[in-house]
Structure 1
């Protein structure tokens, strides 16, 4: 999935974001099934909230200018193949999955959700839905100055709208920042060339975020953290660019290169493992969270390896290339 010449630090940063998302969902499913929350995991997952999805959106925006250079048709067709297609495939899969789950283990399912696929993504597929819209907007905004457009998105995220709309506009702002800095991704995203400065920015962001979580103020300030999140992402990028090559960083980068596999697959796997660990094995919340994370990571890793070796597996995540599509 990595394009030619793709920067390793981008894969590393994306991999970290995906793993944080998986940790969060593993815990949420565990808490829902056991009925008991963990104060420790509440703080840990809440602390990373300002970085998880904003980082993924900003990194996605980095690839827009290079894609636009190919022309309108290849740009839009490419997004349909790699975002629109898996969105539809996995929407169908999740509808079937939830329907079967409603008959067997009591998962929630409503036939009306079939129609939601076209205007309100189900489960975790909102990310692909947002991303597809963002790429279309980036094409439409390509001739506009970036700063005013980003400012409008940030401003809209601060309006007293429904949470989903505030979330949509805030993540669009991060995506557009990625578009704006993509031509100079090195200097803009890794300003703190000294390792200590990068860590200072990242740890400051996490410290403020943790303070808001512990004091119960995160809900009040969630959409006002745009500047703080940017500083944290810049710090994380600086650390990632200077990270030494090792098995650990290589493994995280692997997750980043196959991010769509890990993102799409971990959700249903964690739901199944959580049902088993919580209801059949009667494990506590922390243990169920761990089981969910291990199970989803294992299945995602197997499918990620199979992605490059099996056309069938690859067809679950990207539409086959057809002659005349370019």
Structure 2
């Protein structure tokens, strides 16, 4: 059975990401800026740590099944939504008469200033962790965190540091998880996570679609003459979450499910999509990193 607290915490991290981008796209709000500054230390490490908690269980299926599963549920949505993201950016630039990015071919492979880098990192971590025995992953977790602290602010710093948090999650799942007293797990299980757990169960859907939806929702609101951040930011938060919920419901159809997991021709394609989750900036206005 899925553990509600994991889904709830993952959903909380996804909402934190949405709030961060809502400030970038919808406009600055003092209170939201303060909230985002506090959450900046936790949102992506939390997502990576939660992903790492399930690493050992996935590796127990064998290297081939482990990697094929991550290619279907992590790499595939990255490819799909990165392609959609880059396409809509190019169309927007052409419509406004602006030149296309000179490094378009590189951005088609990986866009570090975009928002989908989390999925790319997560897939890389699964690939790199596959051949490592448990003891090596345990040693690598604190080592990578210490190494990341010595690297200046850069993509390499982010990659190394989050790799450390991913393996910290793995370490906690293997060492601490089995030793947690039953009374504690029962107490945690009684907490009602509500819509946060709902988001967390399908976090890949909300993460993959939220920023593209947000940008176009805000553009529409601006065209209607509404530019006050106090009115725009709620739209930037509610609309992507609502569209994400709609896409979750539409995943019963193969065309919608194929946006988030590699499509299969057999009858198991729809049932397997239920377990897919992550963890987890298009125009110039949103060209900043989580």
- Deviation, 1:144, is 3.9
Quick check: 1:9–1:240 contact (8 Å CA) kept in 2?
no
CA distance in 2, matches of 1:284, 1:73: 52
Structure 2 gap segments, 5+ residues each: 267-290
- Deviation, 1:46, is 0.9
- Deviation, 1:192, is 11
Q: Partner of 2:16 in structure 1?
A: 20
Q: Partner of 1:29 in structure 2?
A: 25
- Structure 1 segment 106-117 matched on structure 2, within 5 A: 109-110=100-101, 112-117=103-108
- Deviation, 1:20, is 1.1
CA distance in 2, matches of 1:56, 1:240: 23
Q: Partner of 1:159 in structure 2?
A: 150
CA distance in 2, matches of 1:68, 1:313: 28
Quick check: 2:78–2:116 contact (8 Å CA) kept in 1?
yes
Q: Is residue 318 from structure 1 mapped to residue 261 from structure 2 by the alignment? A: yes
Give the TM-score normalised by the residue count of structure 1: 0.74
- Deviation, 1:173, is 1.0
C-alpha distance 9-272 of structure 1, shift in aligned 2 (>3 A): same
- Deviation, 1:107, is 8.2
Quick check: 1:68–1:75 contact (8 Å CA) kept in 2?
yes
- Deviation, 1:292, is 0.8
Quick check: 1:29–1:270 contact (8 Å CA) kept in 2?
yes
Q: Partner of 2:78 in structure 1?
A: 87
Quick check: 2:10–2:197 contact (8 Å CA) kept in 1?
yes
Q: Partner of 2:45 in structure 1?
A: 54
C-alpha distance 47-92 of structure 1, shift in aligned 2 (>3 A): same
Q: Partner of 1:270 in structure 2?
A: 214
Q: Partner of 1:145 in structure 2?
A: 136
Q: Partner of 1:66 in structure 2?
A: 57
- Deviation, 1:39, is 2.0
Q: Partner of 1:96 in structure 2?
A: 87
CA distance in 1, matches of 2:74, 2:56: 17
CA distance in 1, matches of 2:186, 2:23: 27
- Deviation, 1:108, is 8.2
Give the TM-score normalised by the residue count of structure 2: 0.82
Q: 1:286 aligned to 214, 222, 230, which one? A: 230
- Deviation, 1:120, is 4.1
C-alpha distance 79-189 of structure 1, shift in aligned 2 (>3 A): farther
The more displaced of 135-144 and 166-175 is 135-144
Quick check: 2:129–2:137 contact (8 Å CA) kept in 1?
no
- Deviation, 1:189, is 8.0
CA distance in 2, matches of 1:267, 1:175: 24
- Deviation, 1:190, is 9.2
